[in-house]
Amino acid sequence: MDMSNRPHRLRRTKTIRDLAAETRLDPHKMIMPYFVTEKGANRVEIESMPGIYRDPADKFTELFKADFDLGINKIMLFGVVDKKDDTGSMADDPSNPVLQVTTELKNQYGDNIFVATDICLCEYTSSGHCGIITNGEIDNDKTLDRLAEIAIAHARCGADCVGPSDMMDGRIGHIRQALEGNSLPDTIILAYTAKYASAYYGPFRDAAGSAPQFGDRSSYQMDFRARGIVRTRTRP
């Protein structure tokens, strides 16, 4: 048989497979998530994610030192708060645990640590939805303005990177424009989620206390059955 194209050549031994591998798991390219609660709270293990905790803001840097000493220096912070309202006002309030911890970490470690923060409203809204609700519907454009305000507050506290995970149309460009307009051009935007309407987010919603109080997110998160379709998202 005359066959010159034999991909099996690059799979013949482990050494060759390692040489030809295009994707490599490398701890230097990984970001560790942490859930941070308000000062004075107890450290609580998340039931749906054994071994993962909600850490109070006033104890976080002390608890984190052991992880930093292990070489974990790229992290992402998610806020967990009790006070919630229609606009998610706690998302950029000075008492937000994420803002407090970000400031402390950057003061302590400087550029030796990379701090990313989650930019979304679901942890902070009384509805548990990722956007501002107007007349029973997600107001995409009003949400963009709110997300930009949150991103600016996080960046000013020292966040190296802001990660919008809301799935509102136009959010990346809107946040970038806001950062540039507020003299924060070095802040990275990590569009780290193309979120699909999926049950896989159940443990995260448990960890962040962000489950929707009504309806679901299928109108603004992506439909896994139509990955290539750009959709208009309006209803919660």
Residue 127, domain member (yes or no): yes
pLDDT 10s digits, 187-211: 999 876 566 666 666 556 555 555 5
Residue 228, domain member (yes or no): no
How many independent structural domains does the chain possess? 1
Residue 52, domain member (yes or no): yes
Domain encompassing residue 66: 26-208
Q: Which domain CATH number covers 171?
A: 3.20.20.70
Residue 12: per-residue pLDDT: 87
Residue 105, domain member (yes or no): yes
Residue 231, domain member (yes or no): no
Residue 213: per-residue pLDDT: 55
What parts of the chain have a pLDDT lower than 70?
1-4, 192-221, 224, 227-236
Residue 235, domain member (yes or no): no
pLDDT 10s digits, 13-40: 998 898 888 888 888 888 999 999 988 8
Residue 234, domain member (yes or no): no
Residue 217, domain member (yes or no): no
Which single residue is written with the structure tokens 């990177």?
A: 161
Return the H-helix or E-strand segment holding 156. helix 140-156
Residues 6+ apart with CB under 8 A from 79: 35, 36, 37, 90, 91, 96, 97, 98, 118, 123, 124, 208
